Amino acid sequence: MDAQHSLLLGNLAQDYYFSKMPINKMVEKYSLSRYLILKYLDEALASGIVEITVHASYERRVELERQLKEHFKIPHLYVVADPTNLAKRDDRVAAFAAIQAQSLIKQAQVVSLSWGETIFEVIDHFVKTEQEELTFAQFMGENMKYHSSTGSMRMVQRAAAKFGAHYFTIPGPLYILNDQVRAGFMAEPSIERTLAVAKRADLIISGIGTLESVDSIPLWNENRAAIFPEVAADQVAGMVFGRPYDVNGVFLNAGQDKCLSLPLDTILKVPRRFAIVQGKSKYRAALGALRGEFFTDLVINEATAVRILNELK
User: What pLDDT, on the 0 to 100 scale, is given for residue 45?
Assistant: 85
Q: Please report, to the nearest 10 degrees, the dihedral formed by the alpha carbons of residues 87, 91, 94, 95 taken in order.
A: -140
The sheet with strand 76-80 has its strands ordered as 76-80, 297-301, 272-276, 203-207, 110-113, 135-138, 166-168
3-state helix, strand, coil in the chain (%, to 5): 50, 15, 35
- E strand or H helix that includes residue 76: strand 76-80
Please provide the distance, in angstroms rounded to a whole number, between the alpha carbons at the two ends of the chain.
60
Q: For the segment 48-59, what is each residue's pLDDT rounded down to a tens digit?
A: 888 765 555 568
How many Cα neighbours within 13 Å face the side chain of 282? 26
DSSP 8-state code for residue 80: E
Q: Report the alpha-carbon distance of residue 44 to residue 289 in Å, rounded.
A: 42
Cβ count near 299 (within 10 Å): 26
Q: For the segment 7-66, what is each residue's pLDDT rounded down to a tens digit?
A: 899 999 988 888 888 889 999 999 999 999 999 998 988 888 887 655 555 688 999 999
Pairing status of strand 135-138 against strand 243-245: unpaired
Asked if pLDDT for residue 150 goes beyond 60, the answer is no
DSSP 8-state code for residue 139: S
What is the pLDDT confidence band of residue 204, given thresholds at 50, 70 and 90?
very high
Radius of gyration from C-alpha coordinates of the chain: 21
Could you tell me the pTM of the whole model? 0.80
State the amino acid at position 183 in one-letter form.
Answer: A
Q: For the segment 103-146, what is each residue's pLDDT rounded down to a tens digit?
A: 999 999 999 999 888 999 999 999 888 898 999 999 999 887 75
